[in-house]
Every structure is written in C-alpha cells, then in structure tokens.
Structure 1
C-alpha cells in the first residue's frame, strides 16, 4: 500500500513556521492616521480554508481575527493581505478576509492557469489590486514566460501591480521582466538581498538601479529576513533607510505577519513598528511610506 504524501495530510506546522511572537510590545512610535501594513498573510483556519495539497510548507493557523487584533495593537488601520502559496490559487481565504475588512483591506492574488477571468474580476471587486509572482524555489518552480503571459492576459485592463518575490542575485535577469510588465512592479522584502558585502554590495546597488527606472517599487518589509545581525536588525534597517531616502515616493512597509519560512523564532511585530522611525526618520518620508504610497499603489481612498 502506498503511503500518502506527508504534505497532503500533515497538519503540523512545517519547520520554519513558528507561532507568532506571543506578546509583541506596544510600539512607542505613534503612526500617522491610516497607516498601512502593506504585506501580511491570513492562513486558514485549515478546517475552514484547507491548505493546498501540493503546498511546500504548512503554516500555523493565523486567521483574519488574529491579524485584525494585531493591527489594532500596533496602530495600523489598513493592510494588504497577500495570498500565500500554501493556499495555492484557491482565494477563498483571501476573499473572506477582504469582505470582512470594511474597506480597510486590499489584496494580492496568485493567478494560475486554472484561474478564470470571472474569478479575477471577483477578486478585483473584493479589493485585490496586485498579483504575485514567486521566484523562490522553496515556494514553487519559477514561472515561465508563457505562464507570466497567461497571468497578464487574465488581469489585463484592471491596473493591477505586479509583485515579485525574488532574491538579490536575480536582479540582473529581473530587468528584462520589468520591461515586460505593463504597470507598476513591486519587489518584496527588500529583494531578499544578501548583506554579506554590506549596503553598497552588488545586490543593493542593483536594487537602487531598478528604483531609478521609475517603474519599480520596493517593500521595505522583512528586515528580520535580510539581517545578518539579528534583532534589532541594524544592517537591514540601514539598507531600508537608504532605499526610503533614495526613492521616498516608491516604497511601502509591511510586517510580513505571521512570518513563515524563517529561521528561529518569529520577530516581535511591535519592535518592527518601532524600527520604522529609523527606516523613515523624515516625517514627510514616514507619511509617504505608511499612508500616501500604499494608498496610491493599492487604491485606498485618499486621506488628503
């Protein structure tokens, strides 16, 4: 008798998927009104929204109620919920979160070959304003040109941004992809750059060059992923600050909650909020980062 694949039946969280920080501190930074967590996830609960049979990892459940409570604790009133590969192309969990968000949530979808145009339009009505392309091998095989063209056909005319999950060593190849994509392009998690060569190494320089083209935006999220020093992640925070100063009109910030596929314990999200003051010490840049830029990129109502 053939045993079933572990990922089809296993409900225990995978290694690298720790529980969220049990008691995130209350941030000392008072965020501007309508500040946005531009990158977070909702997982399950699995008995309501099952994980995809072909997923490469199993997270701990992190339902919408948990995310809402965290945002209230941190002083965040808007958020962008990113569909995770562990839920695949079934957007039920994302739609449920968006419909319960009372207009304060937007979404990022994973469009696949089985996704229909009708489904895409339903996602748009619910608040999705971007699609994500994963190029990290632990999540999936990188999309082919044909797959990317198929996604672009399905989202044509909706004005969605393209969100790219890539590593810094791929930036050279990324230039060609950016030219292929018709609208705004968002690089996740500071491009997952390797800081072994410091803030002026090849990958950070390439990322700044991409920003200079005017089409690319960067999420200065994931400082805990990029740092080689651990909390309070001074090396990655300094790089994020460089990027904010370099292109303050095309940067957004996110928690990356609940922090899956990481080494060690989940970061303190209260600390991550307090680090924003170092990432954007200029009050005008802080407002752009947390309010104006996400409103423009993800189509939130203007607060002016």
Structure 2
C-alpha cells in the first residue's frame, strides 16, 4: 500500500503561474475540491521530519490566484502529508475565507473535541487517511477517527491504490461515514486495473462513495498520456454522477514533470461533455459534500 517517491530532499518545481480559463465556460460557483497550500514561513509552519517529499512554497495568495485564473469561485484545501497532523496553516487560510473555502484535515484519534470544534468553525468538513505518502495518518486508526468525527458529520477521504487494496474496501464501507476516494482510486489505464475499477464502481453506485476526478497526471507515466485516463473517468461518472467532484491537485506536489492546471480542468470537457453534467460535478455535488450554502 505504498508508492515509490523521490527522496524528501529532492528539488521539485513550482506550479505554472500563468494560467487561463479552460476550453469550456466554467459555471458560477464552481469548486476545485482538491488543492494544497504550503507556507513560505517554514519556521512558523515546519514540515514533519517523516515525509516523502519537500515541496516549494505554494501560499494562500498563489492558490487564490490560481482559482481566479481558472474562473473558479470555491475551493477545498486538503492537508498535505508534509505537515502531518499540524493543520495550522491550512486552517489559517480557511479562516480567512469562510465563504469561499472548505478544508479536509489530517488528525489522529487523540485530537480533542475543542480542536475538532474549532476546525469545524474554520471550515473543515472531512479528514484524510493517506496510505501512499509518509507523514499522513495511516489506515490502522480509521475506525477510531471515524468515531471522533461522527458528531460533526464529516467525511473520510482516502488516498489509496484501490488496485492493491481491494480487500480494504469492505472495512471502509463499515465506517458509517461518507467516503471520498482521492485521485480516482489511483487506478491506471492499464488493463490489469479493470477488476479494481469494477469494484470501485460498485461501491460508488451502491454505497454512494464519492470520487475525486483528479490527479490524471499521476495515473500515467508521461504527461502526454493523460488522455488515456478518459475511459476511467467516464466509467466512474456513469457509475454515479451525483457522487463525482473535480479537483486540480494544485500545486502538483512531488512530481518533476509539471502539468498545467488549465489543461487538467479542460480535460473535464471530454470526461463530461454535457454542460448539465459539468454543472453537477463542479457546482451541485461539491456544495452538498462540503456544505457550501
């Protein structure tokens, strides 16, 4: 349940700063449901020593500029594994933009009720379990965490490789909370992912699991092969269009071949050619999942 990543000391590029609207009209109140912010002040907001990568800064100002450049009015910040359970910077940004932003935190089972209440007030609506990068909270504690977040109605988001963790899915289904699967389950366009895709489709259709249509560039070996992800995205949309959301995965951490965020949003026009379907994926679905009014 882990992937090979470059050393934490590796130098990774920053995302492209020149962006523009995609190749379709972005609807009002569209939401990017998956992005990270990384503070410039590493003394105030230090990285956890137990991490898989060390990214360049991607602060609040750059993040909001990205949303504006793409014509996106709402966003969801996801706590990156580099901070472990120190959610302070993400929550600081959330608290400054309570109408526009929501968040997904990383916590452990020892978190206090007061901390949970504060994070909820700041805009946190879910927690993330990360089985792929060091620094995140592992799968062992997910039942205890599910119990802690139940009073707040939060969901649990999983960064897992479904093809290598199919046996884990029934356990996730018993948690009793809304389930969100990151980056299309980290499934690849390869033929050997077919069975895993069918299994994920079943949970999406029958259990109402949510899927983030995100991270296409992480599912292929070369950026120019991202188009190969289209059948995978379309299959998940068909399984349950009311449970699909889109995410940029900005600032595209831990990769050397940097994708253009505009191109990633433009791919949605192929995955969901219908305007009404894109409206659902970009506006209505995230409003329900993250509690936007």
TM > 0.5 between the two?
A: yes
Distance (Å, rounded) in 1 between the aligned partners of 2:196 and 2:15: 29
8 A contact 2:51–2:134 mirrored in 1: no
**What displacement does 1:83 show?**
0.6
Moved more, 44-53 or 187-196: 44-53
1:120 maps to 2:116: yes
Change (3 A) 1:172 1:18: same
Alignment of 1:155 with 2:146, yes or no, is no
Instruction: Work out whether residues 218 and 250 of structure 1, in 8 Å CA contact, stay in contact via their aligned partners in 2.
Output: yes
| Aligned CA distance change for structure 1 residues 159 and 170 (closer, same or farther; 3 Å) | farther
Query: Which structure 2 residues correspond to residues 1-304 of structure 1 after superposition, within 5 A?
Result: 14-15=9-10, 17-45=12-40, 46-140=42-136, 142-144=138-140, 147-197=141-191, 201-228=194-221, 230-231=223-224, 233-262=226-255, 264-301=256-293
Give the Cα separation in 1 of the matches to 2:70 and 2:276. 20
Work out the CA distance in 2 between the residues paired with 1:47 and 1:29.
41
Instruction: Give 1:289 deviation, angstroms.
Output: 0.3
Deviation per CA, 1:24-69: give whole Å up to 9, x if none: 3442321100000000001112244222233332111101111000
Q: 1:83 to 1:190 in 2, by over 3 A?
A: same
Q: Alpha-carbon deviations, 1:142-181, whole Å to 9, x = none? A: 321xx22321232121110110110022342232222221
Report the CA distance between 1:137 and its aligned residue.
5.0
CA distance in 1, matches of 2:137, 2:151: 27
Distance 1:137 1:225 in 2: 13
- The 1:201–1:153 alpha-carbon spacing in structure 2 relative to 1, beyond 3 Å, is closer
The runs of at least 4 consecutive aligned structure 1 residues that moved more than 4 Å come to 137-141
Contact kept, 8 Å, 2:51 with 2:133, in 1: the verdict is no
Aligned-CA RMSD value: 2.1
Instruction: Tell me which residue corresponds to 1:9.
Output: none
Structure 2 stretches lacking a partner, 5+ long: 1-6
- Deviation at residue 228 of structure 1 after TM alignment: 4.3
Q: Which runs of 5+ in 1 are unaligned?
A: 1-11
Looking at structure 1, the residues matched to 11 and 237 of structure 2 have their Cα atoms a distance apart, in angstroms, of: 29
TM-score where L is the length of structure 2: 0.91
Q: Figure out how many residues of one structure are paired with residues of the other and give that number.
A: 286
In 2, are the aligned partners of 1:195 and 1:228 still within 8 Å (CA)?
no
